[in-house]
């Protein structure tokens, strides 16, 4: 069995800000049938330590780690071993994993996640509880320095895979922190981890990991272009065949609809309308569950919204983010109280009820590395309306004339990513909804789509096995 240590800054059900957490939480169990034994290393945030209990046994003492004592405690993630980096000076504080209560980055984020990476490298060198990984699976910039620390510690027989969940976050730190982060100055070059005069943890991972992956094949292609690469396109292109895209999956146990027929869907829709204070309507009930940002295309949706509402459709939104977008959505709800409803914040249980009861789920992102909400929609027969980008392009079969003729469409895609194109697609959505036979055929197609981890877990397992046998 291939031994892999997953190094992540978040992991469901303990701490989540985005899809990275879902992937880190689901992969260990998904990989087990494919001959991969994965354990997870996670920062010991205050909430995580409270949930797991500080009584979790200490299995390794690390001494001073970037300003204070640190140790590894062993907990459990279902059937999987979970290692918590217990470093109170770095993680025992209020706020989120990356932001303080004031909504700004923790000023010591470079040290906090360098500590996570250093701990991973020490485990790779020394092993833990008689177990030593053959591969470190590193998630995003927060784990990007681990390959550099492996070199420093003289570890040559442990391979590394960096998975990029979102290239927009790059883990930048000023050059004067080289010493504070215990990084070798000779690697602070354009060929190393220097990025426009700063340290980039993400670039360190891209350059020095044995393999680099991202979370969908289309996003892998997009990342090698200036439009999507966020300055990393050249570095990624240089990796050649060592850079690949493996599509995410979803946890089918967590995301399983409580119905299998149209009557069950209708009951869920009625309950959702009642919960949001929306009346019955002739058009589809659309849902949005998202961070409210321009990346997610919410400004485009606000501009295109009349195309839905004026044709009898409705919109229910759950999310938080950009204050201007929150205000614009509030104003839309005030103008259209029977057509638009809004909940600011995030509520996992409500998200499930929205996907259960919605007719369509809208994901108009300008870029989307993989996206999971459209896969939840497919699973529940809540037809995705998505932009043609990243994982959205890889997972939704557009209701084109050819796809409808072949009876294989599972949703709607729009391109270019503009408000006008989205408005036209929302009009198409309403038109399809008014043709029950066509609509129900698409719902059946959507619910039959394979959106679990089986194929992707095998792809990861094959990659890990090739890395350890090469």
Q: Is the peptide bond before 13 cis (omega within 30 degrees of 0)?
A: yes
Helices (H) and strands (E) counted in the chain, each on its own, are 19, 18
Cα–Cα distances in angstroms (integers) from residue 75 to residues 116, 362, 446, in the given order: 16, 38, 38
Q: In 3D, which of 174, 140, 168, 146 has the Cα closest to residue 159?
A: 146
Check if the beta carbon of residue 67 is closer than 8 Å to that of residue 177: no
Tell me if 467 sits within 8 A of 161, measured CB to CB: yes
Asked if residue 243 lies in contact with residue 236, where contact means CB atoms within 8 angstroms, the answer is yes
The token pair that represents 324 in the structure block: 């201007």
The C-alpha atoms of residue 191 and residue 207 are separated, in whole angstroms, by 8
- Token code pair at residue 399: 């209701």
Alpha-carbon torsion (233, 234, 235, 241), positive or negative: positive
| Among candidate residues 385, 419, 376, the one with its CA nearest the CA of residue 315 | 385
Vertex 461 angle, CA 460 and 464, to 5°: 85
Annotated binding site: 16
Closest CA to 18 of 318, 322, 370: 370
Residues in binding site for ADP-alpha-D-glucose: 16
* Nearest-angstrom CA–CA distance, 92 and 456: 35
């Amino acid at each position: 069995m291939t031994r892999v240590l997953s190094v992540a800054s978040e992991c469901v059900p303990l701490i989540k800000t985005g899809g990275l957490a879902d992937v880190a939480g689901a992969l260990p169990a998904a990989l087990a049938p494919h001959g991969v034994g994965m354990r997870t290393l996670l920062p010991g945030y205050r909430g995580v330590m409270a949930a797991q209990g500080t009584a979790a046994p200490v299995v390794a003492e690390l001494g001073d780690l970037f300003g204070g004592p640190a140790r590894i405690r062993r907990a459990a993630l279902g059937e999987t071993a979970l290692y918590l980096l217990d470093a109170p000076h770095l993680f025992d504080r209020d706020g989120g994993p990356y932001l303080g209560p004031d909504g700004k980055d923790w000023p010591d984020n470079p040290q906090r996640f360098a500590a996570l990476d250093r701990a991973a490298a020490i485990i790779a060198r020394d092993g833990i509880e008689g177990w030593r990984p053959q591969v470190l699976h590193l998630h995003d910039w927060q784990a990007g320095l681990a390959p550099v620390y492996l070199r420093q510690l003289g570890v040559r027989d442990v391979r590394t895979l960096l998975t990029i969940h979102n290239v927009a976050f790059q883990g930048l730190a000023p050059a004067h922190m080289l010493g504070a982060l215990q990084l070798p100055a000779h690697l602070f070059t354009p060929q190393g981890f220097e990025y426009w005069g700063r340290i980039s943890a993400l670039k360190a991972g891209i350059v020095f990991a044995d393999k680099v992956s991202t979370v969908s094949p289309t996003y892998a292609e997009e990342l090698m272009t200036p439009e999507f690469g966020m300055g990393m396109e050249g570095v990624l292109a240089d990796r050649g065949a060592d850079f690949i895209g493996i599509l995410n999956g979803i946890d089918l146990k967590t995301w399983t609809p409580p119905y299998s027929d149209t009557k069950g869907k209708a009951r869920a829709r009625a309950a959702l309308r009642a919960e949001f204070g929306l009346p019955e309507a002739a058009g589809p009930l659309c849902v949005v569950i998202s961070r409210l940002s321009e990346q997610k295309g919410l400004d485009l949706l606000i501009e295109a919204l009349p195309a839905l509402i004026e044709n009898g459709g409705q919109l229910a939104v759950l999310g938080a983010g950009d204050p201007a977008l929150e205000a614009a959505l509030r104003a839309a709800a005030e103008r259209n109280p029977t057509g638009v409803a809004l909940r600011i914040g995030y509520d996992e249980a409500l998200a499930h009820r929205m996907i259960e009861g919605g007719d369509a789920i809208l994901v108009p992102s300008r870029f989307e590395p993989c996206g999971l909400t459209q896969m939840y929609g497919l699973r529940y027969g809540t037809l995705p309306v998505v932009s043609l980008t990243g994982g959205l392009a890889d997972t939704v079969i557009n209701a084109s004339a050819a796809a409808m003729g072949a009876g294989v469409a599972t949703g709607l895609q729009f391109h270019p990513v503009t408000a006008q194109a989205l408005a036209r697609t929302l009009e198409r959505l309403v038109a399809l909804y008014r043709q029950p036979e066509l609509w129900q055929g698409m719902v059946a197609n959507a619910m039959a789509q394979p959106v679990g981890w089986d194929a992707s877990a095998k792809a990861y397992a094959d990659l890990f096995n090739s890395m350890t046998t090469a």
